[in-house]
Amino acid sequence: MKKRGKGIAATFYGTGYGNGFPDVSKAVAEVDHDGNVNIYVCATEVGQGAKTIIIQMVAEILGLGMNDIHLISEDTSQTLDTGTAAASRQTYNTGNAVKKAVEVLKSKLLEKAKEHLKLPSLLGLEVKDKVIYLKTFPKKRVCFKDLIEEKISVEETFTAQTVQMDEETGQGAPYWPYTFSCYGVEVEVDTETGIIEVIKGVCAQDVGRAINPELIEGQIDGGFSMGLGYGIMEKLNCKDGEIKNNKFSKYLIPTALDMPELEKIIVEDPESSAPFGAKGIGEPVILPAAPAILNAIYDAIGVRFYEIPVTPDKVLSEINREI
Amino acid sequence: MNHISLTINKKMYSIDVEEDVRLIDLLRDQLFLTGTKEGCGEGECGACTVIMDGRVVNSCLVMAFQAEGSNITTIEGMSDKDELHPIQKAFLDKGAVQCGFCTPGMVLSAKSLLDKNENPTREEIREGISGNLCRCTGYNKIVDAIELASKEIREEKKE
Ligand code: FES
Ligand code: FES
């Protein structure tokens, strides 16, 4: 018999290394004598879109097109340390470092332009497409190339706030910021085979501010599929410290047929300490999937599972025990 | 040592291969067609997918000498010079690429599917790429992309 059930789960996730551990990102922003804008970071791109959103942030601050920005990343001979692409921290931490560096660079450019244009004040000076001009009298203008004889380079550091938890009491403020997620799923449990199929999912994800909604949707899809595998398929099977399921024929991960269509809801509530309000979602998007699925299994067959993955053999043995 | 002749991406090759060389090694190590990826080396992940005589195969499971006389398409043969294939364009437009490791195999499985079925349902698309594992995208945007490509290809044909 096939039985259906629905379940929800809400989770929160602390960004960064946390628990008092130093969490530092450094970025360099420069304009060279040809007027080129170069950004140096070491935010490893693994497909999550770090490079894209860093370029978007720079473009926003300097009024440039994305193709006008030269990003030098992941080359440790040229870049400073921006920490690992882990802990869902690059958007927040490196984003903050980049934003700081580019804003200082911009104010230096404006200061230079003020002198060059012989203006008494910075008021009304705007930057767009490598030109600085006076909003009220745009003929007063100078392009980056004519303004800069020697390259201007700005290095900035962002250090996240974190409090180590008290070992005795467990009290503290280990993370800042937190990111919230809530997923609802519907499953169908085959009581003869024990196979669980996730047939629908609705994912609401807090992002602070969506710098790139398409990338966020892609991350939600990917995170959901990892959470689905985590909840009902993926088992390392460690015996005496050895991973037994060490190949894809034994360690099963979701295929396209295992993934449901997802309805995605991006929740924007800008975080005051974040660049443009944006938080990272790499790991948060994984978290609610497994608990929501387990709740839906309970709704479908009335069995509470306290261990994952809930594989077909476990479902069957629980169903048989109930009878 | 075997001497084999085959066609890869419309180009003829006549080449010496050792007995124990797999098709993926021939492509990557001898011909430097490194767009084809090796994920598992045991036929489970589909990263090494190529099209051989109209069928998708895992190039990690085919010995190079078995490719004698065959006609092979790899990811390098998808675009027409600088013009991307509609499937490749759709992958870009729909954001169906994250780390990219599964992408060459996905694109070739999609091509093989659309060559046989011009207008697949989403379920048929899922089935068509079910031999290709992707750890990043959760597949949904890949399905979107293949759906879009199928539409574009049909429209192109109408014109
Ligand atoms: S490398 Fe051939 S199927 Fe994985
Ligand atoms: S995009 Fe990374 S495995 Fe598919």
A31 and A104 inside one domain: yes
pTM of structure? 0.96
For residues B94 and B130, the answer to whether their CB atoms sit within 8 Å is no
A196 and A298 inside one domain: yes
Residue A213 lies in a domain: yes
Please indicate whether, in this complex, the C-beta atoms of A225 and B138 are within 8 angstroms of each other: yes
Residue A251 lies in a domain: yes
Residue A163 lies in a domain: no
CA-to-CA distance for A158 and B22, rounded, in angstroms?
Answer: 49
pLDDT band for position A132 (cuts 50, 70, 90): very high
A226 and A139 inside one domain: no
Q: Which of A156, A214, A283, A318 is catalytic?
A: A283
Residue A165 lies in a domain: no
Annotated domain spans of chain B:
2-77, 86-158
Structure token digits, residue B78: 């998808």
Would you state the pLDDT for residue A321? 87
Residues 7-66, chain A: which have Cβ within 8 Å of B?
Answer: 46-49
Residue A261 contacts B where some CB pair is shorter than 8 Å: yes
pLDDT band for position B81 (cuts 50, 70, 90): confident
Binding site membership of A22 for ligand 2 (Cβ less than 6 Å) = no
CA-to-CA distance for B47 and B75, rounded, in angstroms?
Answer: 11
CATH number at residue A40: 3.30.365.10
Please indicate whether, in this complex, the C-beta atoms of A224 and B99 are within 8 angstroms of each other: no
pLDDT band for position A223 (cuts 50, 70, 90): very high
Q: Give residue-wise pLDDT tens across range A154-196.
A: 999 999 999 999 999 999 999 999 999 999 999 999 999 999 9
Whole-number Å distance, alpha carbon A133 to ligand 2 midpoint, is 44
pLDDT band for position A103 (cuts 50, 70, 90): very high
- Residues 6 or more apart in contact with residue A25 via CB below 8 angstroms: A41, A81, A82, A83, A89, A90, A93, A94, A96, A97, A157, A158
pLDDT band for position B159 (cuts 50, 70, 90): confident
Residue B158 has pLDDT above 70, yes or no: yes
Whole-number Å distance, alpha carbon B81 to ligand 1 midpoint, is 27
A310 and A229 inside one domain: yes
Q: Give residue-wise pLDDT tens across range B9-64.
A: 999 999 999 999 999 999 999 999 999 999 999 999 999 999 999 999 999 999 99
Would you state the pLDDT for residue A323? 65
A314 and A186 inside one domain: yes
Which residues from B are below 8 Å from A221, CB to CB? 137-141
Residue A33 has pLDDT above 80, yes or no: yes
Q: How large is the average pLDDT for residues B75-95?
A: 96
Into how many domains does chain A fold? Answer: 2
User: Which ligand minimizes its atom distance to the CA of B62?
Assistant: 1
**Cα-Cα-Cα-Cα dihedral of B88, B90, B94, B95, to 10°?**
10
| Residue B22 amino acid letter | R
Nearest CA in chain B to A262: B140
For residues A209 and A60, the answer to whether their CB atoms sit within 8 Å is no
Would you state the pLDDT for residue A14? 97
A212 and A287 inside one domain: yes
Q: How large is the average pLDDT for residues A119-147?
A: 97
The reply to whether A283 belongs to the active site is yes
Would you state the pLDDT for residue A272? 98
Mean pLDDT of chain A: 97
Q: B2-77: which CATH architecture? A: Roll (3.10)
Domain that holds residue A248: 2-14+175-322
Which residues from B are below 8 Å from A47, CB to CB? 97-100, 136
Please indicate whether, in this complex, the C-beta atoms of A217 and B95 are within 8 angstroms of each other: yes
Nearest CA in chain A to B139: A256
Residue A77 has pLDDT above 80, yes or no: yes
A194 and A272 inside one domain: yes
pLDDT band for position A322 (cuts 50, 70, 90): low
A220 and A129 inside one domain: no
User: Which ligand minimizes its atom distance to the CA of B45?
Assistant: 1
Residues in chain B whose Cβ is within 8 Å of chain A: 39-40, 42, 44-45, 95, 97-100, 122, 125-127, 129-143
Q: Which atom of ligand 2 is nearest to the CA of B136?
A: 2
Would you state the pLDDT for residue A13? 97
CATH superfamily for B86-158 is [2Fe-2S]-binding domain (1.10.150.120)
For residues A82 and A27, the answer to whether their CB atoms sit within 8 Å is yes
Which residues from B are below 8 Å from A253, CB to CB? 133, 135
Same fold, B2-77 and B86-158: no
Mutation pick from B49, B127, B133, B139 vs chain A, by most beta carbons of A within 10 Å, is: B139
Residue A90 lies in a domain: yes
CA-to-CA distance for A76 and A40, rounded, in angstroms?
Answer: 10
Residue A155 lies in a domain: no
